[in-house]
Amino acid sequence: MNETLLELKELVKHFPVRGGTLIKRQVGAVHAVDGVDLTVGAGETVGLVGESGCGKSTTGRLAARLLEPTSGKILYRGQDISHSSRKRLKPIRPEIQMIFQDPYSSLNPRQTVGTIIRGPMEVNDINPSGGRKKRVQELLEIVGLNPEHFNRFPHEFSGGQRQRIGIARALALDPKLIIADEPVSALDVSIQAQVVNLLQELQRDLGIAFLFIAHDLAVVRHFSQRVAVMYLGKIVEIGDRQSIYERPRHPYTHALLSAVPEPDVSSEPRERIRLAGDVPSPINPPSGCRFRTRCWKAQDKCATEVPPLVRLSGNREGHLTACHFPEAPTTQGEDVVLDPALA
Amino acid sequence: MTTVSWSGEPGTSRGPGPFLSVRDLSVEFSTEDGIVHAVDGLSFDLEKGTTLGIVGESGSGKSVTNLAILGLHDPAHTKIGGEIWLEDQELISAGRGTMEKLRGNRVAMIFQDPLTALSPFHTIGRQIGEVYRKHKGASKKEARDRAIEMLRRVGIPQPETRVDHYPHEFSGGMRQRAMIAMALVCDPDLLIADEPTTALDVTVQAQILDLLKELQQQFGTAIILITHDLGVVAGTADNVLVMYAGRAAERGTVREVLREPRHPYTWGLLSSMPRLNSSVDVPLRPVRGTPPSMLNPPSGCPFHPRCDYPKLAGPELCFNQRPSISPETGHGDACYLTLEQKRELRTAKTEDRA
């Protein structure tokens, strides 16, 4: 592996919950991210999957330092930026860019496409050779839009084209790392594939590292070399693509994989795991292992001891699992149905 | 002794035709920008106890079709043509009173977003019971008991206390379960589920889809499942209808359509989706371009601007003449390529992919 670009160390982010009638006091905290360790190497793509409320978006925003962590460290190229001031962050900002989920709300409807893409260059006072307008046209061409369209407004474009505008804006400053937060989930299937291909091309041609946040496991597999599975603010399993998708050890990873609807009618049967209920509230997460309330293997130990994220015997290097009672490394195990309405 | 066996329950009158039959349906909306041809000449049938998956991208007319079945369109701005037969009753010409008696009773619907479809001011129990009281003339007490029973059936823990809770006290998956309970409270013959799991997480989606299947086996309901996800259809439906630009592109059983897709658009949809076991080094093969505007749909085959094969099939046909689905029954598609050509192209594609 080459140089480490981004390193998150025991990262924690709690959002205060305030209550009380007259004097608003903090009555609790949403444990959005609770001790996450993650590294992203230069030119690498790390996928972050999990269900809504698991803290994957907060992790992304912390990595871009749009949020300040409650504790823990964010290192960018070895430099601690966890609590840096705006001024100190300024030289780093251009190197970390974001792509957002919703192509409708992430573009200012009153600005032309040219102004939107030029925005980052103006803010950071960057004057590319040949002028900003030429650079904007270049960028439009790179993302597959007509360079003549820089004077148009976002409403004149379709969802997929808007997402391309958002990508062009993220590319405007030649970033080293792009944090893509659900970049394709708002798009239609046929358009999704176009955007995924574009991102992959960009990564190959420009060597940009990606932190790819998504809930769609198949898309994440297609795009990421390494994958981290999050559950209620913690990484429960992390490893290279093959380990996570073919030799998963954590029961939650098994459950997630078996729940993916696949458009196949002939393939070999996969294990069928149906959990009961939904993800518990992150305001008051379960003690010990957070997955234990929905896990079929949970025992007393799981309620008292937090399982460490470690390499289990028989796993490849870099494949870490946080579970006291891991599953066999296969995706064709036995069926588990916990839902009372299905039993 | 010879007996005539009926597939329906005893006592139900059953005409010779299918349970639900949509014939040549067209829906047009007049808007400020002009007339939107949302659905154009759509026909399909649905038998009792089976599930039809309607697949298409946004704007393909899949939701509009089902709003037309329920008569939920705005009559002032909508022009509907064709016929919709529910057993021996025609629904397009039916009056408001007839439709009101039908909705929630024989035909029910589940919407995509349970939070906006449920009223925040009333308890879950009251909302489920209301349907039952209106259609079955039950008392408040009976309706409440029925609501509790339905909540139990859809797998909500402690239904006796949950029945008095408000929607905001339920999680997303529980709300969708409550919606299903509400839809099934009067034992409908037809259930229309419009993207029932799109707003949910994968593990919850799997639970809800299994629950729908389970309940279908118990109640014998016919289900129309609208979705954009061919994966959802693969696990849930018996038959599939692929829609593009307000028309049927392909229809057949799930097996036929997923294993031997015939229409180039279906090929495109399938090759756009990454799989859990596909090769990761080859790029995905999306359908190029974007779906057409329904204000001004393309002439001829609506898919021709995005299709790679008009040259093979004969450009005059593709560009000028609307293909209709053929053969009339079974696995059919609306494309001018010959079956032989389709088979060759598909084999070439799968070999390419492997």
What is the residue whose two structure tokens read 């371009």?
B289
Predicted pLDDT of residue B12: 40
Q: Is the pLDDT of residue B6 over 70?
A: no
A118 is a domain residue = no
pLDDT category, B108, cuts 50, 70, 90? very high
Task: For A129-192, give the DSSP string.
Answer: TT-HHHHHHHHHHHTTS-GGGGGS-GGGS-HHHHHHHHHHHHHTT--SEEEEESTTTTS-HHHH
A288: left (phi over 0), alpha (psi -120 to 50) or beta: left
SS3 label, residue B135: helix
Average confidence (pLDDT) over A8-33 = 88
Q: If we measure between CA atoms, which residue out of B60, B68, B42 comes closest to residue B248? A: B42
Four-CA torsion B111, B114, B116, B122, nearest 10 degrees: 120
Nearest CA in chain B to A225: B280
Q: If we measure between CA atoms, which residue out of B261, B237, B128 comes closest to residue B184? A: B128
Residues A158-187 pLDDT 10s: 888 999 999 999 999 999 999 999 998 888
Cis check for the bond before B292: say yes or no (omega within 30 of 0): no
Count residue pairs from A and B with Cβ separation < 8 A: 147
Q: Is the pLDDT of residue B266 over 80?
A: yes
Query: Which pairing describes strands B239-244 and A4-19: parallel, antiparallel, or unpaired?
Result: unpaired
B142 is a domain residue = yes
Residue A206, CB-side half-sphere exposure with 13 Å CA sphere: 24
Vertex A149 angle, CA A143 and A150, to 5°? 85
Predicted pLDDT of residue B24: 93
Number of domains in chain B: 1
Helix-then-strand count for chain B, H and E: 14, 11
Q: What is the ipTM of this complex?
A: 0.85
Query: Nearest-CA distance from B206 to chain A in Å?
Result: 5
Spatial contact of B48 and B220, defined as CB atoms under 8 Å apart? yes
Query: Which pairing describes strands B239-244 and B51-55: parallel, antiparallel, or unpaired?
Result: parallel
- CA–CA separation, B114 and B132 (whole Å): 19
> Inter-chain contact A215–B205, Cβ cutoff 8 Å?
no
A281 is a domain residue = yes
A318 is a domain residue = yes
Which residues does B230 contact at the CB level (< 8 Å), separation at least 6?
Answer: A189, A263, B55, B258, B269, B270, B273
- CA–CA separation, B78 and B89 (whole Å): 21
Task: For B210-261, give the DSSP string.
Answer: HHHHHHHHHH--EEEEEES-HHHHHHH-SEEEEEETTEEEEEEEHHHHHHS-
Q: If we measure between CA atoms, which residue out of B261, B267, B215, B216 comes closest to residue B238? A: B216
A241 is a domain residue = no
Query: Nearest-CA distance from B230 to chain A in Å?
Result: 5
Which backbone phi and psi does B277 adopt, to 5 degrees? Answer: -125, 15
Question: How far from each other are the two terminal CA atoms of chain A, in whole angstroms?
Answer: 47
Q: Which residues of A touch B58 (CB under 8 A)?
A: 188
Average confidence (pLDDT) over A140-158 = 90
Sign (positive/negative) of CA torsion B133, B139, B145, B146?
A: negative
Residue B211 at interface with chain A, using a CB cutoff of 8 Å: yes
- CA–CA separation, A69 and A152 (whole Å): 39
**Structural domain for B122, as ranges:** 115-185
> Inter-chain contact B274–A221, Cβ cutoff 8 Å?
yes
pLDDT category, B16, cuts 50, 70, 90? low
- CA–CA separation, A241 and A226 (whole Å): 5
Dig out the tokens for A241 from the structure: 């693509």
Which residues does B145 contact at the CB level (< 8 Å), separation at least 6?
Answer: none
Q: One-letter amino acid identity for B49?
A: G
Residue A293 DSSP one-character state: G
Q: One-letter amino acid identity for A101?
A: Q
- Give the closest of B203, B233, B288 to A256, CB-based: B203
More confident call, A266 vs B74:
B74
Residues A21-66 pLDDT 10s: 777 888 888 999 999 999 999 999 999 998 888 899 999 999 999 9
- Give the closest of A160, A190, A245 to B276, CB-based: A245
Q: Is the pLDDT of residue B255 over 50?
A: yes
pLDDT category, B4, cuts 50, 70, 90? very low
Q: One-letter amino acid identity for B291?
A: P
In sequence order, the β-bridge partners of residue B34 are B31
Q: Is the pLDDT of residue B79 over 60?
A: yes
- Give the closest of B206, B211, B287 to A259, CB-based: B206
Spatial contact of A10 and A175, defined as CB atoms under 8 Å apart? no
Which residues does B329 contact at the CB level (< 8 Å), separation at least 6?
Answer: none
SS3 label, residue A51: coil
B336 is a domain residue = no
Q: Provide the b/e sequence for A50-73 (b: ≥16 CB within 10 Å).
A: bbebbbbbbbbbbbbbebebbebe
pLDDT category, A267, cuts 50, 70, 90? low
Q: In what order do the strands lie in the sheet with A4-19?
A: A25-41, A4-19, A71-76, A79-80
Per-window interface: B 177-206 vs A, CB < 8 A: 177, 201-206
Q: How many residues does chain A have?
A: 343
> Inter-chain contact B234–A265, Cβ cutoff 8 Å?
yes
SS3 label, residue B303: coil
Biggest distance spanned by C-alpha atoms of chain A: 67
**Structural domain for A306, as ranges:** 248-261+270-343
Average confidence (pLDDT) over B42-59 = 92
Predicted pLDDT of residue B13: 42
Predicted pLDDT of residue A152: 92
Residues A184-198 pLDDT 10s: 888 888 888 999 999
Dig out the tokens for A30 from the structure: 């949403």
Q: Which residues of B touch A193 (CB under 8 A)?
A: 271-274, 284-287
What is the residue whose two structure tokens read 């190029």?
B288
Specify the pTM: 0.88
Average confidence (pLDDT) over B209-235 = 91
Number of domains in chain A: 1
Tell me which of A60-74, A254-268, B164-178 is least confident: A254-268
Query: Nearest-CA distance from A323 to chain B in Å?
Result: 19
Q: Which residues of B touch A255 (CB under 8 A)?
A: 203
> Inter-chain contact A265–B255, Cβ cutoff 8 Å?
yes
Query: Nearest-CA distance from A336 to chain B in Å?
Result: 12
Q: If we measure between CA atoms, which residue out of A337, A316, A312, A305 comes closest to residue A326? A: A312
Query: Nearest-CA distance from B280 to chain A in Å?
Result: 5
- Give the closest of B254, B269, B290 to A265, CB-based: B254
Dig out the tokens for B204 from the structure: 């919850």
A204 is a domain residue = no
Q: Which residues of B touch A267 (CB under 8 A)?
A: 277
Spatial contact of A179 and A211, defined as CB atoms under 8 Å apart? yes
Residue B270 at interface with chain A, using a CB cutoff of 8 Å: yes
How high is the mean pLDDT of chain A? 90
Q: Which residues of A touch B207 (CB under 8 A)?
A: 274-276, 339, 342
Q: How many residues does chain B have?
A: 354
Residue B324 at interface with chain A, using a CB cutoff of 8 Å: no
A274 is a domain residue = yes
Tell me which of A14-23, A258-267, B1-10, B312-321 is least confident: B1-10
SS3 label, residue A18: strand
A299 is a domain residue = yes
B192 is a domain residue = no
pLDDT category, A104, cuts 50, 70, 90? confident
Q: If we measure between CA atoms, which residue out of B64, B132, B74, B70 comes closest to residue B98? A: B70
Q: Is the pLDDT of residue B354 over 60?
A: no
Query: Nearest-CA distance from B89 to chain A in Å?
Result: 34
- CA–CA separation, A136 and A114 (whole Å): 6
> Inter-chain contact A189–B273, Cβ cutoff 8 Å?
yes
> Inter-chain contact B274–A341, Cβ cutoff 8 Å?
no
Vertex A37 angle, CA A32 and A38, to 5°? 105
Residue B200 DSSP one-character state: S
Q: Is the pLDDT of residue B5 over 50?
A: no
Question: How far from each other are the two terminal CA atoms of chain B, in whole angstroms?
Answer: 57
User: What would you report as the CA-atom Rg of chain B, rounded to the nearest whole angstrom?
Assistant: 22
Which residues does A146 contact at the CB level (< 8 Å), separation at least 6?
Answer: A140
pLDDT category, A305, cuts 50, 70, 90? very high
